[in-house]
Amino acid sequence: INKMENTEIKAREIIIKMQFQKEPLMFEQAKQCALTCVDEIINTYHSPMDDEQIEEWQQVKQEILNLSPWIHL
């Protein structure tokens, strides 16, 4: 798996985890939760991460933003 595929997979996995928690969420709600999680990772854990890790999480965020409910998760 190349790096781009890996970030897309992470994006999909985060949305799925958000969508199917205790109370199922609609896709857009799960997407917003996933974006919040990624923002927290980038902002809260910024100092111990190196630039490559930050860039990867920013790519995951972009993949989440690009996903639509019509794309098979």
Query: What pLDDT, on a 0 to 100 scale, did the predictor assign at position 4?
Result: 66
Cβ distance 67 to 15 under 8 Å? Answer: yes
Alpha carbon 7 to chain centroid, angstroms: 8
Percentage of the chain beyond pLDDT 90 is 19
| CA gap 55, 60 in Å, rounded | 9
Would the CA dihedral through 18, 23, 27, 31 be positive or negative? negative
List the one residue out of 53, 13, 4 whose CA is nearest residue 33: 13
Inform me whether the pLDDT recorded for 8 exceeds 60. Answer: yes
pLDDT in tens, 17-54: 887 777 777 888 888 989 999 998 888 765 666 778 88
Confidence of residue 7 (pLDDT cuts 50, 70, 90): confident
Only one residue has tokens 């997979």, namely 9
pLDDT in tens, 60-72: 999 999 988 776 5
